[in-house]
Amino acid sequence: MNTRLASAPVGTTALRLDAVTKTYGTGETAVTALREMSIGLTRGTFTAVMGPSGSGKSTFLHCAAGLDRPTAGKVWLGDVELSGLREAKLTAVRRERVGFVFQAYNLMSALTVEQNVALVPRLSGQAVDRAWLREVLERVGMGGHLDRRPAQLSGGQQQRVAIARALVNRPDVVLADEPTGALDTRTGRQVLELFRQLVGELGQTVLMVTHDPVAASYADSVVFLADGRFAGELHRPTAAQVSDRMTHLGEV
């Protein structure tokens, strides 16, 4: 297999945050959700983000995706720096360079599997490359279900279609927010195996927010957040090591 799903060579930086701070509101009610967060994701790696509720995980993901503008600091998606971009350009960059996978699959119920995935290039105003579309669906194990509608699929199958949809524009990075949150344990593991496969064999870059230490243990590295700050990193940890670190987060 030598087809690359990603847009640029493995080893370069897919996503970079440089001292990103995000403060919501002003004055006495201001909340600083993220404090001077810096991280670089090398292409072809799988990173999990963990931290207690309210530690800034969603804010981190939103800033990384260009959905939220940092109060200070910079975000690069590939070679594009986001802070200088106007809203329309930012939306275009996001569509072209980021793939999203959520806990809810968010598929269009009236459309077939193939049409759901084809919607992405259509929205970007690109011609639909049907051979590529089918290859991506094949890769995620949905090649035999092109004409089905979401209601005819299991949760795991719907999430596979959502993953195909996230990959079809060959994004710099796939951002996944609790992607296994709605799946049973076995199906969830299969989806995590799929992420590993997309990263390991195809050079995709995945950043996943999760609260599940087992899910995090599928990643190459796990980044911890506490109170909006970077609070350490583990490389190729076991689920037990992740759990242990979570228990002690915030302790000095």
Residues that bind ligand ADP (CB under 6 A): 24-25, 31, 33, 51, 53-59
CA distance 124 to 53: 34
Q: Do 168 and 135 form a contact (C-beta atoms < 8 A)?
A: no
Nearer to ligand ADP, 63 or 137 (CB): 63
* Least distance between ligand ADP and beta carbon 235 (Å): 22
Nearer to ligand ADP, 53 or 247 (CB): 53
* Least distance between ligand ADP and beta carbon 232 (Å): 15
Nearer to ligand ADP, 136 or 209 (CB): 209
Here the tokens at position 23 are: 């403060």
Here the tokens at position 164 are: 């195909």
* Least distance between ligand ADP and beta carbon 48 (Å): 13
* Least distance between ligand ADP and beta carbon 47 (Å): 16
Q: At what angle do helices 155-167 and 130-139 cross, to 10 degrees?
A: 130
* Least distance between ligand ADP and beta carbon 223 (Å): 12
What's 27's DSSP letter?
A: G
Q: Do 221 and 210 form a contact (C-beta atoms < 8 A)?
A: no
* Least distance between ligand ADP and beta carbon 54 (Å): 4
Nearer to ligand ADP, 172 or 177 (CB): 177
Handedness of CA 32, 19, 15, 247 (dihedral sign): negative
CA distance 87 to 66: 10
Rg (CA), the chain: 18
Nearer to ligand ADP, 82 or 153 (CB): 82
CA distance 136 to 113: 12
Nearer to ligand ADP, 107 or 242 (CB): 242
What are the distances in angstroms from CA 212 to CA 90, 102, 151, 172, 223?
Answer: 31, 15, 27, 25, 13
* Least distance between ligand ADP and beta carbon 33 (Å): 3
Nearer to ligand ADP, 64 or 191 (CB): 64
Here the tokens at position 195 are: 């992420």
